[in-house]
Structure 1
C-alpha cells in the first residue's frame, strides 16, 4: 500500500474506536516529499475546527512581537500593563500576595503557579452542555476561588489557562485592539490565513464529550487567547511552519521559547509551546521522535517533529481523551519511517 493509503487506514482505524465521531489529519515534510490530508467520520479535511489550547501559540507569538517592538518587557509586571484591572489577592500562597508582582514572562512560561480558572465548575458545565459567556473579570473571580498551584518560579511549569487570559488582556491594552483584531493584523494577514479567527457563533466541527455533541459556542468564544480560536489544518500548517522557523518574531527569541520546564507527563513547556519526548522505557527502549508544538483539550494537535522534519496537524474533536493524539502522531511517524521517507 502507498504511504497515503497507510495513513488513511490509520485514520479510519482510529475513527472506528468507541466515542470517535471524526478524525482529520494533515501531514507534510519540510522538503515536501510527504504531503497528506485526510479525514474519517463526519468531517472533511477542509473543515474549520476549534483548535483549543493551540491558541496559546498564537497568543505567545503576539506577546513576543510586542516585546520585539519594545512595547512591553517580558520581565514587566502584568499589573503595570493592566492599570484598570486589580490583581491583588489573585494569587496568595502561604500568606504572600503574588498577584501584583506576576510578570509577563511567568505567564507565558506557565511558571506563575496561578490556579487554572478552567478547573472551576466551567469544565464540568462544558461537559454537561451548559453554555455561557464570561470575561476577564469572571476569569479572575473563578481563579480567586481556587487554591493556587504553587508560588511563582517554583522550578517547573504549572498549566493554567488564567495565564493566557491575562496575556490576552495585555495584548488588548498595549495594542488598543481586540484580541481578534491583533490576531488578524499581526499574524493572519501577514501569513495569508483566511480561515483563522476567534470563535463566534460558528464553532466549526462539532466537539463531543463521549457520545454527546457539545453546543457551547459562547464558552469557546470567551476562551479567546487561551483556547478560543477557530482554524483549518491548512492555516495551522502555515502558522506552525512560521512559528517553528522563527518568521513571526525575532529569531533570537527561539532559544528562550525552548527553555523547557517539566509540566505534566509527558509534556514539557516553553513559551507558549509544548515538547513531547517519551522515555525509552515506555517504548520498549526504542527511540521516539521529539515533538514540538501544542495540543488542546478537544484532541486537537499541531506539532513538528524536528528529527524527520515532519509537521502533523489535526483533531479528534473529543474532550474525554485529550492525550490521545500523542500515540496517534507516533503511529503516523512510524508509518512514514517504514516507507523509507528521509529528511533530505
Structure 2
C-alpha cells in the first residue's frame, strides 16, 4: 500500500542486498516559507490522472499553503474540500512504528530480539526474525497483498475487488496465514522486500506487549495527545467519516466508486483515515522530538537500501528517506484502492507537506510520476523560478 510513484520500488523490489545502516542525514537547504501549489494540484486533475486532490504545506508550525482541486463526488459534482478526510493507507505504518519505538523507550521490548520471544509459535522461523527486521521490511515474509486471490491490480482484479473483495472481513491471523502459506522472499536480514505482513505482525506484537490493540495504543499515545481530531483507525466500518472525496477505479464504461471498503484488509499495515492537517501535525511532532527520545528517533531514521528506488530512497523503521534537489526528506507514502497519500518533511520537523489524491487514471505512470514529482519538489524545495 504505497503511492504509485514508488510502488515499483516498494512492492516489487526483490534484489538481495547486504544491509548497511545509513550515515547521518545531510543538511537540508532552507526552502521558501511560502509557495503557491495550486497549479501543480490542478495539473494532477486536469491532466487526467486524478478526480480529486488536496494538500497542505506547513513551515515552522504555520500553515503556509492549503488547497484542493477536482471533484469530491462525480455523481453530484460537489467540489473537493481541502479539509476532507481520506484513507492514508501505508502512512499508517509511521504511527505504528512510533508506538513500537515508544515501547522500546519504555524497556518493554527490544528491536533486535527475535519476534519468537514475544509471539511464540506464531511465525515460521520466528526465532530468526527480529522486531527491527519487521519494521524495516528485511524479514523476508511474503506480502499477503502479492497473493492475487487477495488483491490484483489488473482491470479484472479491480472489478472483482469492487464487487466482492472490498467487503471481505479479514482477521490479522487470516492475513498472516495467507503470508506464511507462501515461501519467504529470502532469509531474514538477507534482502529487502516491502511486505504489509510485517506490520500485521507488529500490530499483534503491540497487543501482546501492552494488552491493548495497536489502535488503542496509537490513539492514546499519538492521536489524543496531539489533538488529531480528524484521524481515525476503523476496525470494521466501511465508511469514511466526515467530508471526503470519493475514490474511484477507472473502467472503459465509466468510474467505479470504491470509497467504501473493509479496513481489515489493511489492519496495522494501513487502515488509518486522516486529513492533510493532521498528518502534517503528526510529522512535525514526530521529527520535532515530541514522540520519541533522540535515541529511538535515530533508530527510526537508520535506513537500509530500497532496490531500484527513485530519489535514492532508503527505508528506516516505518519511514522512508528521499533525496530531493534541495536535500533529504522523511515520511511515508500510502496507497489503497481509491486513495494515494504523500507525507514528507524535513528531519528536524520544521517543514512538511501532506497530499491526498485519487489516482483515477493509471494508464500513464510516467506522466503521473512527473506530476507528483513537480508537486513534491515545489512543496519542499520552493519554486525554482523565484529561488534566490
TM-score (norm 1): 0.84
Return the match for 1:186 from 218, 221, 230.
221
Tell me the residue number matched to 1:14. 44
Q: Does 1:240 align with 2:283?
A: yes
The answer to whether the 8 A contact 2:35-2:382 is kept is: no
The RMSD of aligned alpha carbons is 2.6
5 Å matches for 1:60-71? 60-71=97-108
Give 1:337 deviation, angstroms: 4.9
CA distance in 2, matches of 1:307, 1:191: 18
Give 1:62 deviation, angstroms: 0.5
Tell me the residue number matched to 2:158. 127
5 Å matches for 1:209-248? 209-210=249-250, 211-218=255-262, 220-248=263-291
CA distance in 2, matches of 1:56, 1:29: 24
CA deviations over 1:74-98 (Å, ceiling 9, x no partner): 1222222124x5212xxxxxxxxx3
Tell me the residue number matched to 2:66. 37
Segments of structure 1 that go 5 or more residues without pairing to the other structure are 89-97, 279-286
Q: Does 1:158 align with 2:193?
A: yes
Q: Which secondary structure does the structure 1 equivalent of 2:332 belong to?
A: strand
Q: Which secondary structure does the structure 2 equivalent of 1:79 belong to?
A: helix
CA distance in 2, matches of 1:338, 1:171: 48
CA distance in 2, matches of 1:256, 1:307: 15
Change (3 A) 1:308 1:162: closer
CA deviations over 1:184-206 (Å, ceiling 9, x no partner): 11111111111112133323532
TM-score (norm 2): 0.75
Q: Does 1:300 align with 2:341?
A: yes
CA distance in 2, matches of 1:48, 1:55: 14
Change (3 A) 1:232 1:119: same
The answer to whether the 8 A contact 2:352-2:380 is kept is: no
The answer to whether the 8 A contact 1:157-1:269 is kept is: no
5 Å matches for 1:250-289? 250-264=293-307, 265-266=309-310, 267-277=313-323, 287-289=325-327
Give 1:307 deviation, angstroms: 9.4
Q: Which secondary structure does the structure 2 equivalent of 1:86 belong to?
A: coil
Tell me the residue number matched to 2:247. 207
